[in-house]
A and B are shown apart, each in its own frame.
Chain A
Amino acid sequence: MGRFRGGRVGGAAVAMLLLAGACGDKADEPGAATSDTGATTGAADTGDTIKVGVLHSLSGTMAISEVSVKDAELLAIEQINAAGGVLGKQLVPIVEDGASDWPTFAEKAEKLISVDKVATTFGGWTSASRKAMLPVFEKNKALLWYPVQYEGLEQSPYIFYTGATTNQQIIPGLEYLKAQGKTRVFLVGSDYVFPRTANKEIKAWAAANGMEILGEEYTPLGHTEYGTLVNKVKQADPDAVFNTLNGDSNVAFFKQFKDAGLTAADMPVLSVSVAEEEVRGIGPENVAGHLTSWNYYQTTSNAANTAFVKAYKDKYGQDRVTGDPIEAGYIAVYLWKAAVEKAGTTEVEAVRAASGGITFDAPEGLVTIDGETQHLFKTARIGKIEATGLITEVGGSGQPIKPDPYLKSYPWAAGLS
């Protein structure tokens, strides 16, 4: 009897320990300063520190992409602190894990704003995470800097979008395909708001520009079985595939696409969510020759990028790579700093008012904040993935494009928003 009871208690204790250990692991991120120094209550910028939130998926299916963005933001914070901080105060990053779960993003955002009282937050990746966080930031009148390309049709007054909107990434991609003579296109995407909205926009553009959409297929996020979908693509026999898959699915899709005997020369796949980081996970041999549409590549040549890539590799390892969302996260921190310094305070409405027209010598070239839409002027660059795993520019707009999230300046998009 005694032994039995002991066994039960022992089992429960072990289970508790394991759960506690598992939970404990997630919160402690190496390399991030936590808020146990300095003020625990009060406004974000009392004393000589300013707290900023960094909220990305550090676990789950999106971790493969988001951990690097978090790293870039922490690099920017470190560089800014070394150069004297913002308004003479040091930045203290508070890192939270969204765990690839959209309600968790909303919950952590609420925590960062209400409990940690951060001056601003840099975070999100999927549009689903951004849509979940949007009401939290609007309700609290706090700022979010969102560093990833997305489908547009949004313009929150409390979000700054440092990634591309539709007319800076998706439309240039379509224009490139048409210019190459690929007029019969198959659409493949993950089943959530970004690909669904993006494909609506693509179909509207295609109808107005003489491109035929042969098929539109969606798979759940995290899906890894692409046999049937590749068969469908093969059967439709398009000139090109427009790929809006996100996360792990891209790895499975490209491996199985190649296995089915489809080559980049015959049927190029243009992706908008595959950057250098994802190429490493897919394996360059599976994806070489295919196309991407972004605003920045590690190979983009200017002085700011050379310095950025070197700093990133020095801090995180020579085998790490930089890519568009990584760069967008990095410049978000610098753009916020510039807005705060122009406004003279971290107070949200002042920062918003001061932000319009701010320029920054970014690794992607010169960017300007469009105060009206809170997006950036960005140059579209079409890239081809090389066997080395890096992406080289093969086309694009050549100059910054004014952001138009609601596609108001495009007549074919009249029915969309």
Chain B
Amino acid sequence: MDIYVSQLFTGLSVGSILLLIALGLTFTFGQMGVINLAHGEFIMAGAYTAYVLGDHLTTQVSILVALPVAFVIAGAIGLVLERLLIRRLYSRPLDTLLVTWGVSLVLQQAARDIFGAPNVSVTSPSWLDGGLTVGSVTFPYSRLFILGLVVVAVGGIAFYQGRMSQGRRMRAVMQNRELAACSGIVTGRVDQLTFFIGSGLAGAAGVALTLLGPIGPSLGTAYVVDAFLVVVAGGVGQIRGAVIAAFALGILNAFVEYWTQASLAKVVVLVGVVAFLQVRPQGVVSLRTRTLA
């Protein structure tokens, strides 16, 4: 019985990590149809921000400070990318794929040149050490922190898109770009803001990931495929869809891995997503429109 509780929690935790890295991508991919393969490098930029701040601030607060700072830094890099390159390639998804892949290689090598090829370590704060022990099951605080972070992030985005005018403009542009432009929304500015937020969320994800995994130049490559998986399975641009897909995939992964092995679990999850997309190619949640396009 205990093992099922542990595994369920692990599944939720894996799901929360998947959601964290995919949240930013739902914006950029969903909003603008931009296949951003450099998304993993924004995660890496966030992780390195945590490392640099960890050197200068005390361990206890550095992660909390690092979250907003990484958001801004990764968002800024995303903004630069958008202004210089992506805005010229909006209607050409294959070209953006190639360009962003090239940018990801450049960013990886830049990280290697600045910080060195070996992994660097970030000490997690002592208030995140250990876990909550209920009976014989331990819930590590670092994983609880990430779950909490994801809840706050999703809540924040829901509030932003629901209640704030900027957010509503973002939804409008996503649903029907031409009509939004006709209604007087400057779509170019909304796109910039969307890309900033999407990349910033990736940066914040990178900070959270320093609690659990390695921090190195190829950190992004480990996560970018999973991020796309969640976004596509959840329905492009749909936050609700991404949430459902992320947790479903996380729990599926955790239980299949428990019953078999890690490699097989990855295979089963991939096959599952492919099979699901055959049945429902638009993803879990999709926008119902009457447009012909």
Contacts and interface: CB of A to CB of B under 8 A. Distances in A.
B214 A224 contact: yes
Most buried by A among B17, B121, B130: B121
Contact of A281 (B138, B216, B221, B262): B216
Given A228-B258, A255-B212, A235 B222 contact: no
B82 interface: no
Interface residues of B, number: 60
B13 interface: yes
B212 A252 contact: yes
Interface stretch (A16-24, A169-177, A334-342): A16-24
Given A7-B88, A248-B213, A260-B138, A64 B119 contact: yes
Contacts of B89: 11
Nearest to A65: B118
A261 B131 contact: yes
Given A63-B117, A225-B17, A227-B13, A252 B213 contact: yes
Contact of B262 (A26, A65, A220, A285): A220
B102 interface: yes
Contacts of A15: 95, 98-99, 102
A259 B117 contact: no
Interface stretch (A53-61, A202-210, A390-398): A53-61
B99 A11 contact: yes
Contacts of B192: none
B3 A59 contact: no
B105 A22 contact: yes
B268 to A, nearest CB: 13
Given A11-B99, A231-B7, A59 B262 contact: no
Interface string B17-59: 1000000000000000000000000000000000000000000
Contacts of A22: 102, 105-106, 109
B103 A18 contact: yes
Most buried by A among B3, B89, B92, B102: B102
B48 to A, nearest CB: 13
Nearest to B112: A59
B108 to A, nearest CB: 7
B217 interface: yes
Interface residues of A, number: 54
A68 B118 contact: yes
Contacts of A252: 212-214
Contacts of B118: 63-65, 67-68, 277, 280-281
Contacts of A234: 6
B261 to A, nearest CB: 6
A359 interface: no
Interface string B213-244: 11111100110000000000000000000000
Contacts of B14: 225, 227
A18 B100 CA distance: 9
Contacts of B98: 15
A255 B212 CA distance: 6
Interface string B107-146: 0110011001111111110000111010000101111000
A59 B121 contact: no
B109 to A, nearest CB: 4
Nearest to A15: B99
A375 B98 CA distance: 46
B73 interface: no
A131 interface: no
Given A281-B121, A283-B122, A26 B217 contact: no
Given A191-B263, A260-B131, A248 B216 contact: yes
Given A14-B85, A64-B119, A281-B118, A218 B262 contact: yes
Given A63-B118, A251-B214, 15 more contacts: A21-B106, A22-B106, A25-B109, A218-B263, A219-B261, A222-B221, A224-B213, A228-B10, A234-B6, A235-B3, A251-B119, A259-B143, A260-B138, A261-B131, A281-B120
Interface of A: 7, 10-12, 14-15, 18-19, 21-22, 25-26, 58-61, 63-65, 67-68, 100, 191, 217-220, 222-225, 227-229, 231-232, 234-235, 248, 251-252, 255-256, 258-261, 277-278, 280-283, 285
29 contacts: A11-B92, A15-B95, A15-B102, A18-B99, A19-B105, A21-B106, A22-B105, A22-B106, A25-B113, A60-B218, A100-B218, A191-B263, A218-B263, A225-B14, A227-B14, A231-B3, A231-B258, A232-B258, A251-B119, A259-B130, A259-B140, A259-B142, A261-B131, A261-B138, A277-B118, A278-B119, A280-B119, A280-B120, A283-B122
Q: Which 10 A-B pairs have the closest CB atoms?
A: A281-B119, A251-B214, A227-B10, A259-B140, A22-B105, A283-B121, A18-B102, A219-B262, A224-B213, A248-B214
